[in-house]
Amino acid sequence: MKIKGTSLLAYTALAALALPITAAAAWPDKPIKVIVPYTPGGATDTVTRVVMQKLSEKLKQPIVIENKPGANSTIGTSQAARSKPDGYTFVTVLAAYSANPHLYKLNYSNDDFAPVSHIADLPLFLFVSKQVPAKNVKELVEYGKKNHLTYASSGTGSSAHLTGAHFADEAGIQMTHVPYKGSAPILADLLSGQVSMVFDPILVPMAYVKEGKLNALAITSAKRWDGEDDIPTMEEAGFKGFVMNSWTSLLAPKGTPQDIVDRVSSEIAEIVKDPDVQNKFKTAGFVPVGGSAAELSELIKRDSALYDNIIKENNITVQ
């Protein structure tokens, strides 16, 4: 049989070649790299490894974690922005990703990335020194209007810094920011009363709350922490709309095939439903989300606008 001079066999072969072939059809056929712009062993690194171990099993390919810390995560993020968009490089970012453009002169922008997945939230608790006579947020604000308060953070522009600055603005009180180079000295000064308060994840300070050495007055998430039901949200404490979680998300270099982005996003959405994963997340202070690429895009834009406003209102700059 002939079809306009072409044999049926040849026609069939040509038709097959004309069928759309997605990038994900052969992907992945080699190891995948995930850049973590933070030090090994930290909360971000831990959560990334938990998720990527499961993703590796699903994709049947090794996933290599490459830690590239420095400059408030901008070094590793910059490397990811320059990586080939072939579906074999991703980067984990925190909420600092939305703040950094308003603090640093960067050699990359949000336009250099494709959002993949909002993996998890990291709520912050308002921990207060026992030297401050306040048993709830209202009493803290009243005390702060008559007395000088200080708040700690892990550095200028960090989530703890911006959350503390926002709290001071919303409460209408003056507070002094005290940046530290690690969590250990923050905790020591909080326990001794050298610093009044800190917005920090649950992981370490809550043990001291249980021992009666610190007070936990509120949580910055929209919901109370499971197992700490007596601690209200900031909104419940009288600060309407005060939801300021840190978060962990996955990005890919711009131009990464959309079907690969969609595949990874959907796989992570299922992974964070795993009871074992949820258990490990909670231990590290995270709340699983597994949000879509579109949801992550909106989160980045929303937080970028919020941080920009806080930074400008408080004239925050990095040296």
For residue 70, what pLDDT is reported?
87
Supply the DSSP string of 70-85, one letter for each residue: -GGGHHHHHHHHTS--
Q: If 0-12 CB within 10 Å is exposed, 13-18 middle and 19+ buried, where does residue 235 land?
A: middle
For residue 181, what pLDDT is reported?
85
The CATH topology of domain 125-219 is D-Maltodextrin-Binding Protein; domain 2 (3.40.190)
**β-pair partners for 183:** none
Please indicate whether the domains covering 29-121+246-313 and 125-219 agree at the CATH topology level. Answer: yes
> Is the Cβ–Cβ distance between 214 and 127 less than 8 Å?
yes
Q: What is the largest CA-CA distance in the chain?
A: 95
Cis peptide before 257 (omega within 30 of 0): no
3-class DSSP state for residue 232? coil
Nearest Cα residue to 23 out of 75, 69, 86, 77: 86
Task: Provide the residue-wise pLDDT of the chain in tens; the chain has 319 residues.
Answer: 444 444 444 444 444 444 444 555 689 999 999 999 999 988 899 999 999 999 999 999 999 999 999 888 999 999 999 999 999 999 999 999 999 999 999 999 999 999 999 999 999 999 999 999 999 999 999 999 999 999 999 989 999 999 999 999 999 999 999 999 888 899 999 999 999 999 999 989 999 999 999 999 999 999 999 999 999 999 999 999 999 999 999 999 999 999 999 999 999 999 999 999 999 999 999 999 999 999 999 999 999 999 999 999 999 998 6
Q: How many CB atoms lie within 10 A of CB 18?
A: 8
- What ranges do the domains of the chain cover? 29-121+246-313, 125-219
**β-pair partners for 214:** 129
Instruction: Outline where DSSP puts E strands in 27-95.
Output: 32-36, 63-67, 89-94
29-121+246-313: CATH homologous superfamily?
A: Bordetella uptake gene, domain 1 (3.40.190.150)
* DSSP assigned state of 233: B
For residue 23, what pLDDT is reported?
53
Strand 214-219, strand 125-129: pairing = antiparallel
For residue 120, what pLDDT is reported?
97
Locus of tokens 């306009």: 4
